[in-house]
Structures are given as C-alpha cells and as structure tokens.
Structure 1
C-alpha cells in the first residue's frame, strides 16, 4: 500500500494551520489584561502563517478531495485541535455534551467521504 503525498500533505498542513488559527482566535483568552488592539495585532500576525498553510493545503488537496470533503476534514481537525488546546492551554474541561456535539459534526464529515 502506497501513501500518496497528495492525500497526506493537505491533512498535515490543515492540522498545522489549525494550530496557528486556534492560537490566533483563542490564545488571548489566557491574557485578558492585554489591550484589545495588541491582541488583534498579534492575532493577525499568528493568522498569516495559518493562511500560508491552509490555502496551499486546499489547493493541493483539491486534486484528490472534493471541496466538501476538504471542508469536512477541516471541521473535524478544527474540533480536535480546539479540544486539545482548550484542555492543555486554557485549562478548561471538555464535557460530555461537548464530546457529543463534536461527534455529531464528525459523523456528518463521515458521510462526505462515503461513495
């Protein structure tokens, strides 16, 4: 079985982009004393590498995945990265209701990959 880079590379790039974007969108919640203008500036600087990964990931991935599959993959990756970030960085708990909600979204993504 050969692993095709065109199938794996977009997934890895989307994971990387989501790590950056999660920090850009939610990292400042741990630093509520910082001025809003500074948070926005830092978030934009963090978001630039996110775009530099996400855009090519979707371009490369579009050769082997449909746009709907790429978006579904993106959502599952986003929730996975966010759950880990929420626990490890923000120190928040993921509740059973969160897990159920995430599982329903992942279930929807499952159907995007069915023939």
Structure 2
C-alpha cells in the first residue's frame, strides 16, 4: 500500500471520528459551536486529500494537500480548545489528536516529496 492510500484511509478514519465526536458533543454536552467547527475541519482533511488524488498537475496536487494540511492543523486547534475547556477528556483528546498529528506528518512529507520531484 502506498503513502497516498494510507493517507486516504487514515483521513477517512479521522473524518468518522470527527463525526462521532461532533454527535457526542451535540447530544451529551450540548455544545454547538466548537463541535461544528471541528466537524468542518476534521471532515475537510479527507475531502481535500481526495481532491489531491485527482489533481490536474503536480502543482495542483501540492495546492490541495496544503489545504488539507491547514484543515488538519485547524482540527488540532479545536481539539486543544475542547480539551482545555473540558468538553472532552484528556484520554479522548490524546487519541484523536495523535491521529490528526500523524496525518499532518504524512501530508507534510507528501508535499515535500512532490516538491522535490518537481525540481
């Protein structure tokens, strides 16, 4: 399995976790603002990775991955905020943030690899 497929699978798994966490925060914590922001950024990561897979050029591929990178980093911000405000516990934060951080590292690595090949 190549790095693009791993990234596709991991980002889809992350999106599923984002939806589940959103539902939990809505139903159990009655939190509607931060959870919606997290849902949007968390599901956008995989959507942009999918778009990158169908890029028209290496430059377009890198551009789409940059967007995914920004969305992934934003997701980490919302997770940190939810943890700091006690909407989620430390264990839940660490589990989801670890996954987001891993996806972020893979995205950055993919961007660097493609940029080096473009030179």
TM-score bracket relative to the smaller structure: 0.3 to 0.5
Higher helix share: 2
- The structure with more radius of gyration: 1
Greater relative contact order structure (CA < 8 Å, 6+ sep): 1
Provide TM-score, normalisation by structure 1.
0.42
